[in-house]
């Protein structure tokens, strides 16, 4: 049970206004927890269910970093000297993925990979299912036309691959994008369907597949084995896979991600300046990621988090007055009862319960009261569910 006293109406109104202003200043992203704490110190945030990450993986990486860099004093080297060029990180990623290093383009977060790829390889007409992660349309150069393929709410925002391929043809797209699992709704397109899409679209100049949440997806309920279509770059020459390490490893502050694409494309990007864009910490992360011992431990943290998240989603589905869409990611998209404004609901959760969720009213392709809620640690999830139940029963 949340022990936070309800804030009186007047200060609550003031908080709402301040928050609204912060949100205006963050464009299509949410104000970070650090920004909110600085600008609205009277607000007590207990659980950040806006940020999407595996907290167990963060714990694991912190232990390693303590042992390797802090306890030994080697942190100084990481901060003082230039890190190796990106080829080193490409080597570690290659060890894990089995894909040759010349196919791998490490980036300062997947956002940088998306930016680089969308500006060079994705013109002139791009097909994009929405709602989705906004940089895919925001980073497109002015000369590129982005055609939105609207996912249907009645179908639970699921993507029908055949229908999407038809749309790609109809709008004459030269590039098609697929975010799998998708943000903000968490739908998952199975591997054989991804392959079908790639076969059908192999003549396009590029197909961009963002697998930033793929470590949370699975096809076998018992084994929870990792699924990925990365290896298909060796079979489909127009495929570009984008991968963020921020969410599954819980290290958004490190800024680490990569792209997988034809070696000629990697060379083109490297020649245009993306040679030294990883920080020392990101280089350290990829080095650690290359170690089998670390990955065995990560695998445990990954499975534990998936199990906890699945029970969290199941409990949320049982709450009356909200609709939870099918998800294979570490978050759920929630539709609120008629009459609610998503901003008001998110503010009630935040002010009365200290639970920060993502108001989705700014998302292209979502009309109606939607919020996105991340799964966190088991104890945090208990608090989120409590706040959800309490807020849903009050009604708009
Ligand atoms: C968060 C996110 C990214 C970007 O992550 P980085 O922190 O820049 O690595 C990319 N794609 C999707 C779908 C995301 O949600």
pLDDT in tens, 347-364: 999 999 999 999 999 899
With pLDDT > 90 as the criterion, what percentage of the chain qualifies? Answer: 82
Whether omega before 124 lies within 30 degrees of 0, making that bond cis, reads yes
- For β-strands 125-130 and 145-150, DSSP reports them as parallel
Render pLDDT for 177-190 as a digit per residue (tens, 0 to 9): 999 999 999 999 99
Banded pLDDT at 43 (limits 50, 70, 90) = confident
Decide if pLDDT at 98 tops 80.
yes
Cα of 134 from ligand 1 centre, angstroms: 10
Interval 14-31 mean pLDDT: 85
Q: What average pLDDT does the segment 19-43 reach?
A: 85
Residue 6: the pLDDT is 61
Interval between CA 251 and ligand 1 midpoint (Å): 11
Closest CA to 244 of 107, 375, 47: 107
Q: How would residue 2 be classed by pLDDT, with cut points 50, 70 and 90? A: very low
Name the DSSP class of 154.
G
For 60, residues 6+ apart whose C-beta sits below 8 A from its C-beta are 294, 297, 298, 301
The whole-chain average pLDDT of the chain stands at 94
Residues 129 and 151: their CA atoms lie apart, in Å, by 6
**32-53 mean pLDDT:** 90
DSSP letter at 133?
Answer: -
Percent of the chain predicted with pLDDT > 70: 98
Mutating to test ligand 1, I would choose from 244, 328, 329 the residue with most ligand atoms within 8 A of its C-beta, which is: 244
Rounded to two decimals, the pTM is: 0.94
Q: What is the per-residue pLDDT for 123?
A: 78
> Is the pLDDT at 3 greater than 80, yes or no?
no
User: Which whole number is the average pLDDT over 20-31?
Assistant: 83
If one compares 168 and 45, the residue with the highest pLDDT of the two is: 168
Distance between Cα 8 and ligand 1 center (Å): 37
At 4 the pLDDT is 54
Q: Yes or no: say if 23 and 357 are a contact pair by the CB < 8 Å rule.
A: no
Ligand 1 binding pocket, CB closer than 6 Å: 109-111, 133, 179, 183, 210, 212, 244, 246, 252, 257
Dump pLDDT digits (tens) for 111-144.
Answer: 999 999 999 999 799 999 999 999 999 999 999 9
161 CA to middle of ligand 1, Å?
Answer: 23
How many angstroms does the Cα of residue 244 sit away from the middle of ligand 1? 5
For residues 303 and 22, which has the higher predicted lDDT (pLDDT)? 303
The 10 Å Cβ neighbour count of residue 393 is 10
Segment 208-249, tens digit of pLDDT = 999 999 999 999 999 999 999 999 999 999 999 999 999 999
Confidence of residue 21 (pLDDT cuts 50, 70, 90): confident
Give the closest residue to 246 by CA, choosing from 54, 36, 31.
54
- How far from the centroid of its chain's Cα atoms is residue 7's Cα? 32
Point out which residues pair with 145 in neighbouring strands. 125
Task: Name the more confident of 6 and 39.
Answer: 39
Q: Mean pLDDT, to the nearest integer, of 365-384?
A: 96
Section 321-326 average pLDDT = 94
Stretch 57-79: mean pLDDT:
96
Q: Ligand 1 pocket check: which of 52, 89, 133 to mutate, most ligand atoms within 8 Å of Cβ?
A: 133
pLDDT digits (tens, 9 = 90+) for 247-301: 999 999 999 999 999 999 999 999 998 888 899 999 999 999 999 999 999 999 9
Q: Are strands 206-210 and 239-244 parallel, antiparallel or unpaired?
A: parallel
Q: Rounded to whole angstroms, how far apart are CA atoms 141 and 124?
A: 9
């Amino acid at each position: 049970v949340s022990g936070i006293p309800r804030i009186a109406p007047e200060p609550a109104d003031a908080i709402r206004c301040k928050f609204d202003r912060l949100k205006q200043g963050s464009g299509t992203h949410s104000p970070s927890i650090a920004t909110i704490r600085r600008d609205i110190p009277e607000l007590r945030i207990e659980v950040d269910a806006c940020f999407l990450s595996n907290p167990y993986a963060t714990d694991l990486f912190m232990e390693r970093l303590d042992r390797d860099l802090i306890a030994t004093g080697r942190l100084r080297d990481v901060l003082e000297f230039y890190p190796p060029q990106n080829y080193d990180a490409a080597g570690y990623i290659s060890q894990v993925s089995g894909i040759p290093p010349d196919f791998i383009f490490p980036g300062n977060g997947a956002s940088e990979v998306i930016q680089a790829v969308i500006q060079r390889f994705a013109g002139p007409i791009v097909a994009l299912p929405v709602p989705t992660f906004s940089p895919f349309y925001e980073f497109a150069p002015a000369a590129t036309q982005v055609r939105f393929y609207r996912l249907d709410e009645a179908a639970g925002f699921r993507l029908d691959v055949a229908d999407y391929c038809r749309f790609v043809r109809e709008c004459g797209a030269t590039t098609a994008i697929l975010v799998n699992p998708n943000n903000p709704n968490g739908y998952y397109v199975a591997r054989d369907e991804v392959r079908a899409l790639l076969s059908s679209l192999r003549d396009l100049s590029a197909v961009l597949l963002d697998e930033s949440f793929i470590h949370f997806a699975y096809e076998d309920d018992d084994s929870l084995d990792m699924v990925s279509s990365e290896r298909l770059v060796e079979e489909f020459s127009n495929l570009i896979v984008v991968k963020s390490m921020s969410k599954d490893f819980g290290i958004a502050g490190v800024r680490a991600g990569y792209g997988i694409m034809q070696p000629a494309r990697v060379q083109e990007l490297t020649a245009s300046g993306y040679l030294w864009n990883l920080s020392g910490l990101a280089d350290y992360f990829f080095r650690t990621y290359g170690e089998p011992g670390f990955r065995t431990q990560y695998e445990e943290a990954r499975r534990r988090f998936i199990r906890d998240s699945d029970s969290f989603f199941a409990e949320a589905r049982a709450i009356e007055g909200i609709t939870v869409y099918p998800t294979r990611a570490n978050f759920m998209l929630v539709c609120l009862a008629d009459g609610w404004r998503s901003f008001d609901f998110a503010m009630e959760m935040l002010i009365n319960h200290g639970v920060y969720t993502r108001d989705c009213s700014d998302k292209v392709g979502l009309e109606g009261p939607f919020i996105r809620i991340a799964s966190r640690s088991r104890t945090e999830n208990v608090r989120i569910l409590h706040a959800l139940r309490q807020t849903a029963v009050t009604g708009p």
